[in-house]
Structure 1
Amino acid sequence: MNVLFNLGKAPRRPAFALAALSLAAAVSGCSDTQTSRASEPLSHQMLALMETKGVAPSSPMLIRGFKKESELEVWKMRSDGSYVLLKTFPICRWSGQLGPKRHEGDRQVPEGFYSITPAMMNPNSHYYLSFNVGYPNAYDRAFGATGGSVMVHGICSSAGCFSMTDAQIADIYALARESFAGGQHAIQMQSYPFHMDARNLAKYRLDPNMPFWKELKKGDDHFAATKRDVSYAICNRHYMFGAQAQPGASLDASAPCPSLKYDVQVEKQVASLEGAEKAEVAEIVAKGEHPVRLVYKDGAQNPVFANQIAEVSRPDALVPPVEVALDDPHGRLGAKMRRVAAGRNMLLVAEAQAKTKPQAAPVLAASPSPMSRISALVGNF
């Protein structure tokens, strides 16, 4: 099975995209009212926003979702091929917990990289309008994941979907429709547990999902470095971000990876981002950030909707998540980090004193870097 994704800038083939959208509508047997919803023009406000961002309605788009923050970002491509953030939509409802979706009925919103095609657009949705995100992908299937029909839709009701208000999905659907009409073959959707910043990585560092989240962090770094569709291969049950198979090599999501090639310049940028993030995580942990795991009753919604939406799924579950304290395997990591931090402070004082006493410099120079000790304790972030 060849599993390689590099969407890039879509060729301009409006006829292909429009035909696919027409086929989706024909298969769904949409009514006149629903067809009208799906064909509503972009609002004057959205057109004005695109003008300020220097993007066209027909340009390709990219979507990024963040569960903990309940946010859905829509990015549009500029003339140079890079993406700019167009708008952040607050998510009205998502369900489950932080972490990937693994089976039908677990109420989990998926996490990973997905591809939305014109055929996945549903103008006949019972949830106002909707489109499928493409779960399960090859990575999910390699882990035996089951289920499907994970959507971005309206009505503020979620059982494993990204649920928006009707007005929001009307905007997002129209943006996708125009991108497909402009020739984009597939919209990349990146779904994350949270914003992949140093604070979250430090706070949730001992969550059982962290090995998977570190893998997604690589994709996030590639997007941060390039602001373009992130190319990736899936093999050996891993995402290989920025990778392409060598000519003649085949890829299988469950099989060992063949020889892969990378863009050297991009990898240097990513390595630089990773190094800075690792140092920042180490600093946050050294200051006493305790590891926790968030436990939701059943997902959440963006705070802007609190007490404003009359009909929402499982309103009884919309309570703040509980932070469950975690500890390292031996129960000593936090204390050790605090000792290192205290030692660092003592060393900084000694270094300041050494500036007025040059004879002490050789002794201090022999001491290992305190930040290097902290980084070693924190681990591979």
Structure 2
Amino acid sequence: MAEIYPLLREAVTAGQKSIQVQIFPFRMSVAKMLEHEGNPNSQFWKNLKVGYDSFELSRKPPLVGSCGGRYVFASATGTELPNNPLGDCPGGASKSISEVAANGSLDGERSPQINGNPQAPGAHAYSDGSMNPYFRRILEQKGAAKLAEMTSLTNVPVSRPQAALFEPHLAAPMTD
């Protein structure tokens, strides 16, 4: 973040209205994905890898949507993506890891080893910390709808409010 923040500050100072940032847990090569295969977040990371591979191939940020409790990606401008993490996904909402690999992924033929079921990532909790205290208070005091209104330009709902309140280091919901 120390490297990114000055760039963001300069862009905002220069008048840029919004900045798209993708942050991944690590370089998502096949070797790294296999190295972290036993991690409780691996199903979620497989879902992120679809967007990661799309960027690595095109060098353009993919369009990102959400449905069915997962992210969906598209590389074509004008492609309409679902934007409801709680809603059902329409058919063909996102490429799978295998489809990205078939279209020239940097990972080549080893992608099926990590493919599993990228369309249905499992539940996960962030073990590197908990929810931002400011957002936690809003969620606890004003509810998921208010948090979504305050943090999303398109009012995307908070997909799992109880999971967001889970404190992984205490193994119980935090009450502040």
Normalised to the residue count of structure 2, the TM-score between the two structures is: 0.48
Which one has the bigger strand percentage? 1
Look at both structures and tell me which one has the larger radius of gyration over its CA atoms. 1
Normalised to the residue count of structure 1, the TM-score between the two structures is: 0.25
